[in-house]
Amino acid sequence: MCKKIILAILLINIITINTLHCNDNKKKKTVVIDAGHGGQDTGAIGAISKEKDLVLNISLLVGKYLTEYMDNVNVVYTRKDDTFVPLRDRAKIANDSKADLFVSIHINSNKSDKPDGTETFAIGPHKNESNLEVAKKENSVIVFEEDYSTHYEGFDPNSAESYIMFSMMQNININQSLSVASYIETEFSEKARRKSRGVKQAGFLVLWLTSMPSVLVECGFISNEKEEVYLSSTQGQEYIASAIYRAIKKYISELTALEAALEEPAHKNKPADVKLGETQNENRVVFRIQTTSSSEKIEKTHPQFSKYNDFYEYTENDTYKYTIGKFYSYDDAKKMQDSIQADFPGAFIVAFKGNTKISIADALK
Ligand SMILES: [Zn+2]
């Protein structure tokens, strides 16, 4: 009896040691926290505070929570004190650190003292003038940089024409960016009890220059007296920071779970792995290769798609998404994804059950 107990304890120890060992080996995710503005660039100015100071406090708190509570996250800051950092350097820090996520933290302002609430942006074409105005305001910080016109290829932050390129662009990280944005806005409204103005898209240079999923958070309006008082308070900053932290945690946890599911060899013989040509069942999981996102509808006959089969369109967050190929096995989808790299370097696999998009992790269950 006694020996059995000792054996059990030994086994538990071995399992624990192995588990710890596995966790140590797990690749860390890098999250870049970008406190907007700094130095001579104050950002928006309120009655009692400046945007650059409030966003620095919030950013440092987000980083502190991530460092303290998430073993598998490595935090990189674009600034940790009151210094001026050019937009392109912020993006370079994120790109050089091969970050998994970039979160730029800002505070909104308006000529009127009425508007209030939070909003989180992903890169993309703006749907209305007020979204464009937010992007213009945040992009205009480049005029603090010498030779900004050269560095940003003639981009004029105040000219509407300069924003046309964002309506044409296809961003391979858009789905992930929109997911993070929606997690942040949900946390703001449900947990921090803020008024959420929702997830939006506009042409932010700093997001455009980053090569990973990236969002820009406007934590409230400095021009609104009540919100400025809240955002200037320690408690307000802690609530806002913990909401952003929880959203990042949710995203990183999903990303990690997805990668673990893909590494799991067992998925090869799951029911989803059925040979092509069998009777189709609407409830079966189907894998497709997403190649393109667009705010404008694209026809099946477009030269981009003409040489591929199983063209499929769906919409998400008011954006048209286009996929090619149709597979019942993830591995077959992966082969096609690899084979179309020349035409679609950023193509990725998406999964559907019926007409509902599901996560790859769920598809492989
Ligand atoms: Zn700002």
Q: What domains are there in the chain, each with its CATH number?
A: 8-258 (3.40.630.40), 267-363 (3.30.70.1070)
**Distance from the CA of 88 to the center of ligand 1, in angstroms?**
15
What is residue 128's predicted lDDT score, i.e. its pLDDT? 86
Count CB atoms within 10 A of the CB of residue 197: 20
Rg (CA), the chain: 23
DSSP 8-state class, residue 153? T
Rounded-to-integer distance, Cα 320 and Cα 316, Å: 7
**Distance from the CA of 172 to the center of ligand 1, in angstroms?**
25
What is residue 252's predicted lDDT score, i.e. its pLDDT? 95
What is residue 361's predicted lDDT score, i.e. its pLDDT? 80
pLDDT digits (tens, 9 = 90+) for 234-257: 999 999 999 999 999 999 999 998
**Distance from the CA of 194 to the center of ligand 1, in angstroms?**
19
**Distance from the CA of 355 to the center of ligand 1, in angstroms?**
39
Terminal alpha carbon distance of the chain? 40
In this structure, the strands spanning 319-327 and 312-316 are antiparallel
**Distance from the CA of 205 to the center of ligand 1, in angstroms?**
12
**Distance from the CA of 234 to the center of ligand 1, in angstroms?**
20
Low-confidence ranges of the chain (pLDDT < 70): 1-26, 168-170, 264-282, 345
**Distance from the CA of 107 to the center of ligand 1, in angstroms?**
6
For 168, the token pair is: 């044409």
Q: Which residues contact 261 (CB under 8 A, 6 or more apart)?
A: 267, 360, 361, 364, 365
**Distance from the CA of 51 to the center of ligand 1, in angstroms?**
7
Rounded-to-integer distance, Cα 175 and Cα 177, Å: 5
